[in-house]
């Protein structure tokens, strides 16, 4: 599997373009905005996008999903249905966070824990990881030892749990019980900032190595 990460919007959210090398069929993960910028990279790489995958319902991760779905004629897949209320609040979020006007979003398909998503010859495992939002999912490709974790985990930090529907204990359980057991050698791409490995975070992330009540990432 190949991928490129494109930071978009004033939140510098990591939109990932992933694709199957043999078929050049791919997907967009969390296109938070700047559809034109994303499409220019897709064209440059010669990829045929088949789907748009969403880790969760926050506007900085889904802001361009509907536009790109319509322009590319591809389905929006994910997140878990527990995030439906976030997608319904997108018009209000756009005003609150200074995004362009956006409509409510209804995905073509919801995702559930332990499902698989196919992209060309690739298969991604879906892992439901609530805590940042109740419907947050992670996309994991075992063969590449690569995970796209949205806003669950960051290099040196973890996701916020103080938004509507967030839960700190669920977030930490998701990290410790679902992500870290995948292996220290798994690289992950976060929703913001630099990539890292689960092994590095297990040893050096202060939120995972000692108790804390303060979650600082967005």
Q: Which residues contact 96 (CB under 8 A, 6 or more apart)?
A: none
Provide the phi-psi class of 163: left if phi over 0, else alpha when psi is between -120 and 50, else beta. Answer: beta
Fold classified for 2-209: Metallo-beta-lactamase; Chain A (3.60.15)
From first to last of the 218 residues of the chain, give the pLDDT tens digit.
Answer: 999 999 999 999 999 999 999 999 999 999 999 999 999 999 999 999 999 999 999 999 999 999 999 999 999 999 999 999 999 999 999 999 999 999 999 999 999 999 999 999 999 999 999 999 999 999 999 999 999 999 999 999 999 999 999 999 999 999 999 999 999 999 999 999 999 999 999 999 999 986 444 444 44
Q: Where are the domains of the chain?
A: 2-209
The model's pTM is: 0.95
- Contact (Cβ atoms closer than 8 angstroms) between residue 101 and residue 91: yes
């Amino acid at each position: 599997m190949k991928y490129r990460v494109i930071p978009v919007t004033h939140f510098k959210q990591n939109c990932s373009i992933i694709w199957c090398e043999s078929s050049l069929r791919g997907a967009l993960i969390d296109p938070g905005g700047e559809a034109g910028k994303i499409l220019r990279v897709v064209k440059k790489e010669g990829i045929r996008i088949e789907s748009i995958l969403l880790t969760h319902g926050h506007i900085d991760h889904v802001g361009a999903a509907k536009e790109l779905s319509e322009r590319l004629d591809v389905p929006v897949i994910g997140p878990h249905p527990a995030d439906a209320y976030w997608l319904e609040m997108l018009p209000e979020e756009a005003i609150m966070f200074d995004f362009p006007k956006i409509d409510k979003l209804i995905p073509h398909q919801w995702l559930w824990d332990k499902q698989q998503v196919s992209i060309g010859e690739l298969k991604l495992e879906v892992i439901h990881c609530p805590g940042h939002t109740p419907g947050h999912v992670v996309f994991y490709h075992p063969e590449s030892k690569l995970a796209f974790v949205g806003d669950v985990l960051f290099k040196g930090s973890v996701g916020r749990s103080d938004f509507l529907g967030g839960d700190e204990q669920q977030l930490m359980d998701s990290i410790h019980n679902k992500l870290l057991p995948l292996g220290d050698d798994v690289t992950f791409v976060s929703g913001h900032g630099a990539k890292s490995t689960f092994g590095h975070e297990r040893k050096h992330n202060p939120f995972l190595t000692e108790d804390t009540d303060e979650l600082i990432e967005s």
